[in-house]
Chains A and B, each alone.
Chain A
Amino acid sequence: MSTSVLFDTPGPRGRIRNHLLTVVSVVAVAALLYWVYSGFDAKGQWEGKIWEPFLQADTWRYYIIPGLIGTLRAAALAAVLALAFGAVFGLARLSDHRWIRVPAATVVEVFRAIPLLLLIFFIFYLAPTMFGSGDYAFIAVVLGLTLYNGSVLAEVVRAGVQAVPRGQSEAAYAVGMRKNQVMRLVLLPQAVTAMMPAIVSQLVVLLKDTALGYIIAYVDLLNTGFKILPAVFFGSLIPAAIVIGVIYVGLNLLLSYLANWLERRSRRSRKTSAAPIAPPGAEAVGLRSGGGLDSTD
Chain B
Amino acid sequence: MDDLIKYAPELALGFWENVKLSAVGAVVSLILGTILVAMRVSPTPVLRVVGTFYVNVVRNTPLTLVLAFSALGLSDQLGLVFSQVPRTNSFWIVAMGLSAYTAAFVCEALRSGINTVALGQAEAARAIGLTFSQSLRMIILPQAFRAVIAPLGSVMIAMIKNTTVATAGGYLADVAATMKIVFDDTGASIPIFIGIILAFMALTMPIGFFTGWLARRLAVAR
Which residues of A approach B to under 8 Å, CB–CB? Answer: 2, 4-8, 10, 14, 18, 21-22, 25-26, 29, 39-40, 43, 45, 110, 113-118, 121-122, 125-126, 129, 204, 208-212, 214-215, 222, 226, 237-238, 241, 244-245, 248-249, 252-253, 256, 281-288, 291-294, 296-297
Please give the distance in Å from A219's CB to the nearest CB on chain B: 14
Q: What class of interface size applies to chain B in its complex with A?
A: 35 or more
A115 touches which of B105, B115, B176, B183 (Cβ 8 Å): B176
Leading 5 A-B pairs by shortest Cβ distance: A292-B115, A211-B62, A252-B60, A125-B188, A126-B188
For B40, B47, B150, B162, the residue with the greatest tally of chain A CB atoms inside 10 Å of its CB is B47
CB atoms of B200 and A113 under 8 A apart = yes
Q: Which of B84-129 contact A (CB under 8 A)?
A: 105, 108-109, 111-117, 119, 122-123, 126
A4 touches which of B41, B167, B187 (Cβ 8 Å): B41
- The interface bits of chain B over 34-65 (1 if a CB of A lies within 8 angstroms of the residue's CB, else 0) are 00000011111111101010001101111111
B43 touches which of A21, A245, A248, A291 (Cβ 8 Å): A21
Instruction: Give Cα distance in the complex from A173 to B56, angstroms.
Output: 46
Instruction: Give Cα distance in the complex from A22 to B47, angstroms.
Output: 8
Nearest neighbor of A123 in chain B, beta-carbon distance: B188
Please give the distance in Å from B155's CB to the nearest CB on chain A: 7
Whether B158 is near chain A, meaning CB under 8 Å from some CB there, is yes
CB atoms of A293 and B119 under 8 A apart = yes
Q: Would A249 and B41 be within 8 Å (CB), given that A25-B46, A25-B47 are in contact?
A: no
CB atoms of B43 and A7 under 8 A apart = yes
CB atoms of A6 and B64 under 8 A apart = no
**Additional 5 contacts, C-beta under 8 A, given A6-B114, A253-B56, A297-B52:** A7-B135, A18-B43, A208-B61, A248-B60, A285-B112
